[in-house]
Structure 1
Amino acid sequence: MAKLANNATRLLEAIDYQLIVTLEHCFDLVEGQTLWLEVFGDVTVSGSVQVEVKNFIDDLTDGHINFWNTLKNWLAPKFKQEKYAELILLTTQSYGATAELRHWNDICAEERLALLTRVLENSETRVADSEKQLSKSVKTQQFVMSYERRSLLLEVIEKIKIISDEPDLKTRAVGARSRFGKGIDQSKRDDYFQSLLGYLIEPCLEKDGWKVTYDDFGNKIARLFARYGQNSREFPVVDAAIFEGEDKTDYADRLFVKKLYEIEYAAIVPSAILEHMVAVHTITHEFKRFTVEKVDLDNYKHDQLKRHRSLRSAEMRRCSRKPREEWCLASQDFFDARCGEPVDGMPTFDGTSVEFRNGIWHMLADDEDEEGKEKLHWRLW
């Protein structure tokens, strides 16, 4: 499929890249620190560092607009450079073959100022020789090098560090998954990583700006480890949306569905099918990353069936005293009352989802009666 003229892929990649860099700095936070995203710049850590992130392919030359725009931003009146020990330009760009900027991190403030002065002089000479109008890049250089900003410029350039040749988006993402995924179940690393990025971009309407604190981030990591960590005790959550595209026509002939039609409760059939699918998926896929023994699952099913039979027997006696035409309605009430009961927990876990518990009931209802022994039914006759 051909890309549109206004394709925004590069913009989205730049946003993704910045979020991954932000995540890296979140893991570097120390107690008491706050990280600000797109408030004072791309990524800002209180009292420590301000980072401008550039995801570009072309070479970083002495006159490249990325470098000079970053200088301009750090010279803005509203930017309080005195609050930071370090100002970082982090870019995927490699230095151009003749770029003097490659020596930036190794020279002092006076030498850096001399370098910038030469760049501006060369730019103005080229413009004069070509008799062309000043480009945006040259105008930015003149703004940065103006004499009224010279004292501030010297303070700023002393703090600047250039980090070039950074990994591309895919490489950086893979590395972040690996470094920050230690202790996370291998099959859940993608979910864990996506949850972290989602946490960074979720609206913070109740906070003063778009920020992440050391404490908030630590709490988020703890919650995600409880869910996705190896040997977690939190019951696995299954997103029902993954079943939306599946063909459910075969379920019409399933025994557990027929048992719901038997009590004239067609309205509940779609949710029952979904609960059945959740339970099957949980057992066949999610339980693989936990120490769930088959005997534990068999015992859970046995206990659920035994309790159901006992409760159903009591309701059957009450229902038998009602007119026959009310039996289906009474059975529907019985179904609803059962689904509203607190969930019995599975061994190994601190909790168990309602969808899974109900799905187990539908799995039990899908079994045929054995001779002299009924399986799970909803009818009270």
Structure 2
Amino acid sequence: MSEITKTKNATLTTALAFHYQVLIGLDKCFSLEDGQSIWFERDGDVSLLSSSTAQSTQTEVKNYAAPLTDHHENLWKTLKNWLAPEFDHTQYGALVLHTTQVFGATTRLKEWNLVSAQKRLEILETIFAERTKAQLNAKEPSAIIKLQKEVMAADKLFLKNILGKVTLYTQADNGDELEKQILSKPIGIPKNNLKSYLYGLIGFVYAQATQQSWSIKYQEFVAKCEELTSLLCKKEFSFPVFHGFEASEQDVEQHNDRAFVQKINEIEHHEMIPEAVGNWLELQNSLFEQLDEYPLYKDKTINYQNQLVKKYKLAYSSAKLEATDPIKSSKLLYNKTIGEQPLNMGNDIPPLEYKNGLIHDAMDDEERDLKWKVDNE
């Protein structure tokens, strides 16, 4: 199999932080009850909505390495957001700051969850009182001081109502630990299939997003868990889930120099490239993710690809005999090959995207000397 070249991406940190937020939401899905739902980016990061306000929770998810201290931006920025006019705190019985941070050694916030709303207000007032007049009246105060001034300028009764709902959930699991926690929940799924179960659920969560809203309802989540359990509880080999995503413009540009892309360009079948790159990437990702736990998957994949190549060589030979217009004949060969249903693999029929990813991977292997362009010479 060919390998993906790892490249640096300026948005990687942001993407990982957002994925961590999705994992938090997925984990909360397991605690849903009938009539409840998880929402992303509705009033903040993750919201659990119930017919009962007392059971509804809004959670801000933060992944920081530095400890949570009195003057760390995390709490103050979150409080500012919850105090904003557009945020209706009356919909929620609890407001949770979910952070990977540990409490700082000397912070006054350590007892936060154990004290009353009045005491929490007094803690904030004590912290704010440490600011000097020079700091508060500076022409360009620091970002944290701006946040603190906005929070402490709020109506005290309104602020106290907010503070009474706030819970600080510190030392939260990081992404890897969170995945382990999620993988401990399913029952009856063999160890080798747990990763596929996780990826199936993550894909399901992302697929629920629309331009209008992004929510996971209890009934939908239960149905997906039952579907994946039914699919993956069997002891024999199972394919990872393939979603058939189409590559972005950035993906296509990044892999434009690969041989399999150039061979599609050669037959002027440009509109097929995003799907081809997407299938190829999904195949590579499945091999990369599953290689340690799925040696059987790798072996089966190599053997299956060899079968596909033999079948393709026969189709290519026939196409050469029938060719009149090289470009037209080449496109017809491509369409027929990519559109064909996968060969059986034992008792299983592999995903179409898996089959096509293997064909593009074979085209990318220069030693195989395969191509789409039909030369009738």
Q: State whether TM-score is above 0.5.
A: yes
Counting only pairs closer than 5 Å after superposition, residues 333-348 of structure 1 correspond to structure 2 as none
Once superposed, what is the RMSD of the aligned Cα atoms?
4.0
- The aligned counterpart of 1:294 is none
In the alignment, does 2:112 pair up with 1:104?
yes
Residue 211 of structure 1 aligns with an amino acid whose one-letter code is S
Question: TM-score if structure 2 supplies the norm length?
Answer: 0.62
In the alignment, does 2:43 pair up with 1:37?
no
- The aligned counterpart of 1:75 is 83
Gap change, CA 1:78 and 1:271, over 3 Å in 2: closer
- The aligned counterpart of 2:22 is 19
In structure 2, distance between residues paired with 1:164 and 1:210 = 26
- The aligned counterpart of 1:145 is 152
Tell me by how many angstroms 1:249 deviates.
9.2
How many pairs align? Answer: 277
Tell me by how many angstroms 1:154 deviates.
0.5
1:219 pairs with one of 211, 217, 223: 223
Tell me by how many angstroms 1:186 deviates.
2.3
1:136 pairs with one of 143, 146, 151: 143
Residue 145 of structure 2 aligns with an amino acid whose one-letter code is V
- The aligned counterpart of 1:87 is 95
* 1:55-83 Cα distance to aligned partner (Å, 9 max, x none): 11011111111100111111111212122
- The aligned counterpart of 1:157 is 163
Gap change, CA 1:126 and 1:166, over 3 Å in 2: farther
Question: TM-score if structure 1 supplies the norm length?
Answer: 0.62
In structure 1, distance between residues paired with 2:340 and 2:41 = 45
| Contact 1:71-1:144 within 8 A present in 2 as well | yes
In structure 2, distance between residues paired with 1:171 and 1:354 = 30
| Contact 2:200-2:241 within 8 A present in 1 as well | no
3-state DSSP of counterpart to 1:104: helix
In structure 1, distance between residues paired with 2:41 and 2:351 = 40
Gap change, CA 1:225 and 1:97, over 3 Å in 2: same
- The aligned counterpart of 1:123 is 131
| Structure 1: stretches of 5+ with no match in the other structure | 287-351, 356-381
- The aligned counterpart of 2:69 is 61
| Contact 2:38-2:46 within 8 A present in 1 as well | yes
In structure 1, distance between residues paired with 2:98 and 2:116 = 19
In the alignment, does 2:203 pair up with 1:198?
yes
- The aligned counterpart of 1:316 is none
Q: Percent identity?
A: 26
- The aligned counterpart of 2:179 is 173
| Contact 1:127-1:134 within 8 A present in 2 as well | yes
Gap change, CA 1:247 and 1:108, over 3 Å in 2: same
- The aligned counterpart of 1:375 is none
Residue 21 of structure 2 aligns with an amino acid whose one-letter code is Q
In structure 2, distance between residues paired with 1:113 and 1:269 = 69
Gap change, CA 1:252 and 1:108, over 3 Å in 2: closer
Residue 228 of structure 1 aligns with an amino acid whose one-letter code is L
3-state DSSP of counterpart to 2:131: helix
* 1:127-172 Cα distance to aligned partner (Å, 9 max, x none): 269x6731121111111111x5211111110111101111222222
| Contact 2:342-2:350 within 8 A present in 1 as well | no
Gap change, CA 1:247 and 1:238, over 3 Å in 2: farther
Counting only pairs closer than 5 Å after superposition, residues 307-318 of structure 1 correspond to structure 2 as none
Tell me by how many angstroms 1:8 deviates.
2.6
| Contact 1:127-1:133 within 8 A present in 2 as well | no
| Contact 1:62-1:101 within 8 A present in 2 as well | yes
- The aligned counterpart of 1:311 is none
In structure 2, distance between residues paired with 1:112 and 1:174 = 34
Bigger radius of gyration: 1
